[in-house]
Copies of this chain bind each other. A is one copy, B any other.
């Protein structure tokens, strides 16, 4: 497959086209992903998430710069949860990565799902595979918000960095409790601001309360001022320690198995739906939807009929 070959031999244009393909999904995307899959599994995949206003983009940029200076290639995927409606240009519109522009060792892309079934989480998982196969040693997935999407994306990365900032409003607590369990590293960004110590203290006490999931790894709580590139080396070192931790025991294998089992289920679902729709035909499918809307048939019985027909 020509596109796959170009992508594997390092063409940025092919990579960009490939990502557009996986945003849309469908057969062309599946063919590409099938062709490059054997070359995946080498990148260290990092998730960067946290509430709006925590300074995620600045921190991710600073980390990318740090790793570039150390000679590592870095791919960045900025996931925009608002994208199903807007076309997802919000993060892309930001002027970002200035010191890195023109550097062939960095690839930045903001992702939209373009109405793909399975949504942005599926498209992101596929884009990670493309960057991995294209040879990027570090892949960072940056997500805005703290909803279900972020938790889903967390299951597709190796190391999750949760970024906080001092004084972010009163029921951030509720979100933290969930985010807590996906975090491998906490960063309190904008640590020169008032309230940083309080935020660190709160994180520490929450960590003490709910440490069930982390086994032998205690998530460090680090300070940073990403705007001034302060604390970035410490974060990079913590990522390296976490990576070594994963590789040290059975953790990485188990993590990979869980990630792949989940991805595989989603891929089977997507392919099954496509088959069923093709089998039934667009018109008959629409007629069925109309019958469900009129409550003449329930969608569960209708699904059984459709799948029986596809058999």
Which chain A residues have a beta carbon within 8 Å of chain B's beta carbons?
Answer: 30-31, 33-35, 37-38, 40-41, 51-53, 80-86, 90-91, 113, 117, 119-121, 143-152, 168-172, 174-175, 177-179, 181-182, 213, 253, 256-257, 260-261, 263-265, 267-273, 275-276, 286, 288-290, 292-293, 295, 298-304, 306-307, 310-311
Contact = CB atoms under 8 A, between A and B. Distances in A.
A52 B171 contact: yes
Contacts of A177: 82, 86, 90
Given A182-B85, A270-B269, A38 B295 contact: yes
Contacts of A270: 269
Contact of A265 (B172, B273, B300): B273
With a 10 A CB-CB cut-off, give which of A147, A175, A267, A306 has the most chain B CB atoms: A147
Contacts of A151: 81-82, 84-85
B144 A257 contact: no
A122 to B, nearest CB: 11
15 contacts: A31-B300, A34-B300, A53-B169, A53-B170, A81-B148, A85-B178, A86-B177, A144-B174, A145-B147, A147-B149, A257-B289, A257-B290, A268-B273, A272-B272, A272-B307
A303 B120 CA distance: 20
Contacts of A81: 146-148, 151, 175, 178
Contacts of A113: 148
Contact of A310 (B30, B90, B267, B311): B311
A295 B174 contact: no
A151 B83 CA distance: 9
A144 B175 contact: yes
Contacts of A52: 51, 146, 169-172, 174-175
A90 to B, nearest CB: 5
Contacts of A303: 264, 267-268, 271
Contact of A295 (B40, B144, B169): B40
A34 B181 contact: no
A181 B274 CA distance: 28
B174 A148 contact: no
A293 B270 CA distance: 20
A148 B145 CA distance: 9
Contact of A299 (B83, B171, B175, B264): B264
B263 A268 contact: no
A179 B81 CA distance: 10
A253 B293 CA distance: 9
